[in-house]
Amino acid sequence: MSSAEVSTLATPATPWAFKVWRQGALAVTVWVAVALLISYWPNATRVWPMTQGLVNLCLAVAALIGLLGIIGRWSTKVATRIRAAGAWLIALPILLAIWELLTAKLGLLPVPFFAPPQALLAVYVEDWPRLADSLLHSALLLGSGVALGAATGFVAGVAIGWSSSIGYWLHPVLRILGPVPSTALLPLCFFLFPSSWSASVFLIALATWFPVTVLTWSGVASVDKAYYDVARTLGAKQGFLIFKVAIPAALPHVFVGLFMGLGASFSTLVVAEMMGVKSGIGWYLQWAQGWAAYANMYAALLIMALACSGLISALFLVRDRLLAWQKGAMKW
Amino acid sequence: MVALAPTTTAAASAGLALRIESLSHGFALDGQHLPVLERVSLDVAPGQFVALLGPSGCGKSTLLRLVAGLEPADAGTLLADGVPITGPDPSRVVVFQDPTLYPWRRVWDNVALGLEAQGLLKTHSAKVDVALEKVGLSQFARAYPRQLSGGMAQRVALARALVNEPRLLILDEPLGKLDSLTRITMQKELIDLWQRQGYTALLVTHDVEEALLLANRVIVFSDRPAAIKAQLTIERPYPRHRDDPYLVDLRRQIMGLLGLGESW
């Protein structure tokens, strides 16, 4: 019995027995292999200027994965995060290689419409000031609209849910105006508002306002009446019931509303920028398409996907903080 | 006698005198008036522990809501220490069948609810710790309600009520949903707290045995609309034992009053 114990204790003590992160090693190999493929397989139709840049990027990613894998030996936090992404780190270079083969190397996809990855890289390198400027303008426009829409939607939702006399007046407005796609109001707003920018802020706010209002309202209306009874017998006044009972209880619904409102605001933003506003990512997309600069379009689309996804992630981060008391909440 | 006098007065002032005079109440159900309480009159002396028994749905809980001031009564008078009851007041606190803790607040903040609502939390926050200590949950102050068992949650609800130093504690089947072991422990705790604090207690329960173990006065209601059918005074010292022949006899009587005499 004692000898068995001793032997189980002794096994993990061997100092040089370290485990190699196999997925990581494979990922590094695949990234290097794709770099070699891009570098040595001649381009089919024409010379793409940033081919060597793409090779360097692949090698840099391979080096980064290797580095993080080594850091992961000491930091379990880094290790768990990078290991969770292991399979994707292998799949990504393979997808990149397929894209590269179909476009630059074999020329199977028609050239102006389908750009190879190095063309996107070239856009980022050459046109980054314009892209950054577009991103900034979009962020300003979206931020103003969403902030306005979310704030008014939240207040309106609480008001309708709480007071039946406010509900009497706001409810019909909500029912008529809310379901209208805000982009349908775009032509109208462009001549009603002093500038296309203010018209767009209004429309983005409207697109955000509707779901935030409806869900805040439903959240406040569905609060368990017993919560109010408890607070009232303990001496709570109206203000306490609204701010300390109704609103915290409604917050899970409010976040669903914000999530839906944010999604609606993205599409309104892009349409507004394509139709009237003379800057922003939507405008850039339209402009690139007008010049048949498809590589620019893809580059802008990629940035937009990352930005929108980042915003939604940020929203969920805030939600997870505020609603830590909830059990089994959905993870983004 | 002299030594006893101060404690008696302290207990008397801690409890609230409740007077109910020909109280009637009803609800509108599908356009029809449904009478729930009919001319109920009841005098509760300060510091008394009164249990209300009656058939399910007879209107006992409605009576408690009226006493708590959560709803105005249709007719009749409700007096707390001679003052008409017009709304809820922290001197009359209810413990409901469900703990109804706020899931977004930690245990400590749930207990602090009354003080916070009355704007007393800054000066009296120590009371929260005392109340948690009383129900034996000091270690769970930082927990969220979802992390508690049913019995613990109901203890937190009790602490949330006690922190306001109520003069009338209204108990609406507070142990109704607990398992029998937790129930027995909490019955003991309720008696201990009542004896120490000296508040008046009004308990609705479906459990005849529970009423007999806790209360020094039992009121039996008729079926809806509720009217008082019988009153019993229980002069038995605490802690009481459920197999005390006196209580067993009373139980048989009450079961008979509730129309369950034969099934025993």
pLDDT digit string, tens, across residues B137-188: 899 999 999 989 888 999 899 899 988 888 999 999 888 888 888 888 888 8
Residues 6+ apart with CB under 8 A from B114: A234, A235, B90, B93, B160, B161, B163, B164
* Chain-chain contact of A236 with B117 (C-beta, under 8 angstroms): yes
The pLDDT, as a whole number, for residue A312 is: 93
**Statement to judge: residues B186 and B131 lie in one domain:** no
Give me the number of domains chain A comprises.
2
> How many other C-beta atoms can be found within 10 angstroms of the C-beta atom of residue B168?
23
The confidence score (pLDDT) of residue A79 equals 86
Asked, for residue A24, whether it belongs to a domain, the answer is yes
Q: How far is A26 from chain B (nearest CA, A)?
A: 43
Verify whether the Cβ–Cβ distance A230 to B164 is below 8 Å. no
CATH code for the domain of A240: 1.10.3720.10
Residue A159: pLDDT above 60?
yes
- A225 within a domain of the structure (yes/no): yes
One domain for residues A78 and A128: no
pLDDT at position B250 is 86
Q: Which domain holds residue B130?
A: 101-165
Q: Among A114, A131, A148, where does a domain finish?
A: A114
How far does A135 lie from chain B, in Å, by closest CA? 37
Is the same domain home to B117 and B208? no
What share of chain A in percent tops pLDDT 70?
92
Contacts of A237 in chain B (CB under 8 A): 117
Q: Are residues B106 and B200 in the same domain?
A: no
What total number of domains does chain B contain?
2
Smallest CA–CA separation between A261 and chain B, in Å?
A: 24
**A114, A131, A165: which is the final residue of a domain?**
A114
Residues with Cβ within 8 Å of A79's Cβ and at least 6 positions away in sequence, in order, are A21, A72, A73
Q: For helices A196-221 and A247-275, what crossing angle results, to 10°?
A: 160
CA distance A331 to chain B (A): 19
Residue type, position B254, single letter = I
More confident residue, B1 or A73: A73
Q: Worst-scoring range by mean pLDDT, A114-128, A134-148, B7-21, B123-137?
A: B7-21
Chain A residue closest in CA terms to B69: A233
Residues 222-251, chain A, touching B (beta carbon < 8 A): 224, 226-227, 229-237, 240, 244-245, 248-249, 251
Burial bucket for residue A175 (CB in 10 Å: 0-12, 13-18, 19+): exposed
Chain A: residue whose CA lies nearest to B166: A234
Is the CB of A226 less than 8 angstroms away from the CB of B93?
no
Mean pLDDT on A187-202 = 89
Q: How confident is the model at residue B261 (pLDDT cuts 50, 70, 90)?
A: low
Per-residue 3-state assignment (H helix, E strand, C coil) for chain A: CHHHHHHHHHHHHCCCCCCCCHHHHHHHHHHHHHHHHHHHCCCCCCCCCCHHHHHHHHHHHHHHHHHHHHHCCCCHHHHHHHHHCHHHHHHHHHHHHHHHHHHHHCCCCCCCCCCCHHHHHHHHHHHHHHHHHHHHHHHHHHHHHHHHHHHHHHHHHHHHHHCHHHHHHHHHHHHHHCCCCHHHHHHHHHHHCCCHHHHHHHHHHHHHHHHHHHHHHHHHHCCCHHHHHHHHHCCCCHHHHHHHHHHHHHHHHHHHHHHHHHHHHHHHHHHHHHHCCCCCHHHHHHHHHHCCCHHHHHHHHHHHHHHHHHHHHHHHHHHHHHCCCCCCCCCC
- Mutation test of the interface with chain B: which of A233, A241, A244, A247, choosing the one with the most B Cβ atoms within 10 A? A233
Q: Which residues of A touch B68 (CB under 8 A)?
A: 233
Q: List the single residue in A226, A233, A249 with the smallest CB-CB distance to B68.
A: A233
Please indicate, yes or no, whether residues B200 and B235 belong to a single structural domain of this protein: yes
> Which residue, of B141, B165, B189, is where some domain finishes?
B165
What is the CB neighbour count within 10 angstroms for residue B192?
13
- Is the CB of residue B167 less than 8 Å away from at least one CB of chain A? no
Together in a domain, A124 and A97: no
> Which one of B165, B180, B213 terminates a domain?
B165
Looking at beta carbons, which residues of chain A come within 8 Å of B62? none
Between chains, do A230 and B98 touch, taking CB under 8 Å as contact? no
Structure tokens belonging to residue B37: 């309480």
pTM exceeds 0.90: no
Range of the domain at A110: 17-114
Same domain, B180 and B217: yes
Contacts with A245 from chain B: Cβ below 8 Å: 102
Which residues from chain A sit within 8 angstroms of residue B98, using beta carbons? 226
Within-domain flag for A12:
no
**What value does the mean pLDDT of chain A take?**
87
Residues of chain B with Cβ-Cβ distance to A240 below 8 Å are 116-117
The CATH number given to whatever domain includes residue B59 is 3.40.50.300
Q: Which residue, A114, A144, A159, sits at the end of a domain?
A: A114
For residue A5, what pLDDT is reported?
A: 46
The answer on B198 and B261 residing in a single domain is yes
Averaged pLDDT of chain B = 85
Nearest CA in chain B to A232: B88
- Residues B65 and B111 grouped into a single domain: no
Q: Would an 8 Å CB–CB cutoff place B156 in contact with chain A? A: no
The ipTM (two decimal places) reads 0.86
Residues B115 and B241 in one domain: no
Same domain, A163 and A77: no
The reply to whether residue B90 touches residue A244, judged by beta carbons under 8 angstroms, is: no
Q: Answer yes or no: is pLDDT of A227 > 90.
A: yes
Does the CB of B116 have a partner CB in chain A at under 8 Å?
Answer: yes
- Is A74 near chain B, with CB under 8 Å? no
The reply to whether A124 and A109 lie within a common domain is: no
Report yes or no on A32 lying in a domain: yes
Using the predicted structure, report yes or no on whether residue B50 has a pLDDT greater than 80.
yes
B229 in contact with A at a CB cutoff of 8 Å?
Answer: no
Hey, are the CB atoms on A325 and B104 less than 8 Å from each other?
yes
Residue B146 to residue A327, Cβ atoms within 8 A = yes
A83 touching chain B per CB within 8 A: no
Residue B144 and residue B256 share a domain: no
Cβ-nearest to A234 among B117, B144, B146: B117
Q: Which pLDDT does position B262 carry in this prediction?
A: 60
Q: Are A128 and A107 contained in the same domain?
A: no
B105: closest chain A residue by CA: A325
Give the confidence band of A328 by pLDDT, cuts at 50, 70, 90.
low
Shortest CA distance from A243: residue in chain B: B117
Is there a single domain that holds both residue A275 and residue A255? yes
Residues B122 and B195 in one domain: no
* Contact status, residue A138 vs residue A281, Cβ threshold 8 Å: yes
Residues A83 and A225 placed together within one structural domain of the fold: no
